[in-house]
Structure 1
Amino acid sequence: GTLLAVVAFVLLVSGFAPLVESGRPISLVGQETIEPLKTSPHMPIRVAAVVLQEISRPAGLILLLAGLAAATYILYEAFSLDTIPRQRMYVVLILTFFSMLFWSFFEQAGSSINNFTDRNVDRVWEQRRVSADEVGQTITFHLPLKTTNPDLLRLPLLTQEQLGQRNGDPAMRQRIEGAVRRVAAQRRMSAEDTEKLVAAVSQYEVLTMTALSYLREASADEKLPLAERILTWRVVPENVGMGIGGSEIPASSFQAVNPVYILLFGLVFSALWSFLATRGLEPSTTLKFALGLLQLGLGFVVLWYGARMADARGMANMAWLFLGYLLHTTGELCLSPVGLAMVTRLSPRRLVSTVMGVWFLATAFSQLLAAIIAQFTGVTHGDGAAAVIPPPTETWDAYGEVFGNVALGALGAGLVCLALVPLLNRWMHPEVAEQG
């Protein structure tokens, strides 16, 4: 049963692409209709196109129909209740909506924020910086991220510090082309796709994330000659100040920041709520929801500002990332622990399990919204096999714009929730026995 469920889930998420001859997901609305809308100069049309694309696919369509059916049923049941339980159901539904917004914004951590970290956050602890005296000289880097070769380990690693920098060695373009062709051969790409990819990756004068990735992947085999696992870099005047050596923190490692913050501050918040409760000052559930959304919005303000403060290469300081994650975590600690308790406490006994299912369905729908938001941070040039990530100077603005829009959405939702707190608190009827 579980195995069949996994297979069904994979097929739904993939849009039944493995079963279609073209290998493309099934969609009620064709790409020939959606793609022109996605390139519209008007933001509302682009947003509508992405939403239409997602809900036209099997997973999105089923989620949408299930959500509409669940909402219709719950509203029907709510209207049939007496005044107090009906108003409590209103509170549950309104807070479920705000929770859905919260998680759709929060889940950018695994998509747009992670991509921003990978492409536009300085993650290198460099050993030194290039001085003006080194202009015209050469620096030899080793390419593979992991190696046991002592000759390579004595050389500095070609890192993210070189992104957006120009190598004065005329052989640089040839090295990148060779790396792309080797990886393409390993992946058994067609000759046509290989040529498109080579042209796309080698079009830039400066080092890009895509080129760096191919150089590393092509040199990973320990059996390769040393000459194919190193890179000569001729220093040009614009390289002055470029970081050399040190260690590069993988972008995926920053996914651990939120769990670490949870461990550090979970007990602090628990103790804080207990401390305030003994003095009759603990915020209500509705106020905690508003505080969670507001802190989430402030976290995106920090990320937006960090992107705007990027250096000349388009790289932001990782301190902004840590601060943004901190605010996201404190927001999560305000909202997340009280959600299911609120559903159980306010729902009529005969509807508790159903409303809890609606709560989780809303959480699933928030993942769909998160995917839609993340699509607006797409910064690749080209498509298919020829898709490449441009230099950091061409990507920071796209991330900053999306983070700014998400910040406005989260702060706006938080302010609306805050304004509704008095009304929602009255509708909760704390003076009356619960689960009536």
Structure 2
Amino acid sequence: MSEVPPHVTGLAEQRARARAGGDHAGADALRDKIEAEGWLVRDTADGFELVPRPPFEVWPTVSSVPETGAGGRRSGRAGPVGSEPAGRDSASMDAGRVAEAAAPEARPERLDDLNAERVAAAEAAPEQKPEGSELVGRADEHRGHPEWDDHEGHPERMVSSQLLWDGSLSVSRLDESITPAEHAEPAAPPTVTVGLLVDGWPDDLRECVRALVARTEARIIGLDLGDVDGAGAVLHELVQEFPRRVEAWHVAEAPHWRGGTAGWGESRTKLLKLDTSDVHVVMETSTILDGDAITPLVRTLTDDVAAAGWKGVNPGADGHHWHDAEPGEVRGLLGHLFAVRRDAALAAGGFPAGARYYRNADLEFSLTLPGTLVALDKDLPVHQERHRGYHDVDPDYRDRESRRTYDRVLRLLRDT
């Protein structure tokens, strides 16, 4: 890493004093000056650190990342180059139908148009009343007149009228037979986005994303926390490699487990709100697809099933310990891989804001979801590499934060 120039360090120290004094506007202005010098300042538990500014847009904190506005458009500043979400085919089809409705002249000729032409031609032609046509539709006009009331006295008119009536029914039935029945269009399949929290381990990220692109049709949103070990730079490379599939957001705020201030729950909720799809998939970068494991999860979701995942767990009889569950309905889904209806996740308030670390936060989220949870387990073509979020984190930190979250899980269990 390049040595930080003394004047940049001085700016960062001034910013720290401004933040401590509550001068947030002044702190923001100093942060912009630091960025103009080619550096980023990250707030840590012990103060701050300075790192070279990368070649992509970086937001200062998770909370500062602009969320989706009305109509599926981003509010605030635009995201990084290549961050535009990939379109859905049904959207272009809908746009075509709207354009067709707005410009009728562009539509193919239809029976209604032909009928209109025939009517216009009939109106332009000399009036020719077929024999007996004066009887059709004129009953009200002539009711009470002996000549019209006494049909038996005019059999030839009755025969002509009946022939004309039968002929009109024949034309009507012919129109019915050749006019295609309008059928409701099949519902478009749900849109799906995989949310990845990028907080280190760039090689895992690369393998995870490439497997997703190769084996699914899902969009991918990555939220980079602090470019830990260059993982944010790899995410940027993946956006360049797969611009129609991968969207990236970068923040300077480092993850809590690395001494930063970005918590797991807050970051996961931000990913959920950045998403505009029907189904939001929670996945860890240590989880690798061997086939399309996303579609079976999405198909399991219904109005009653709020979430479906790879691995499920149930609480034991003592209410304190959880154990692996067989495929089927479960109380908790593990965060390695699960799909959740986005409306259900938002109804639950997103992911637990108090969870600074991932462990047990998936259980806390599961217990707040409205609806049934289902685990598919061995039926999914997926495997997990080394679970670095557990094994490669400081054990003291891991145990402390796990206990904090698990206390909330126990309270939820008692309440339910």
TM-score category by the smaller chain?
under 0.3
Rg larger for: 2
Higher strand fraction: Structure 1 or Structure 2? 2
- Provide TM-score, normalisation by structure 2: 0.22
- Provide TM-score, normalisation by structure 1: 0.21
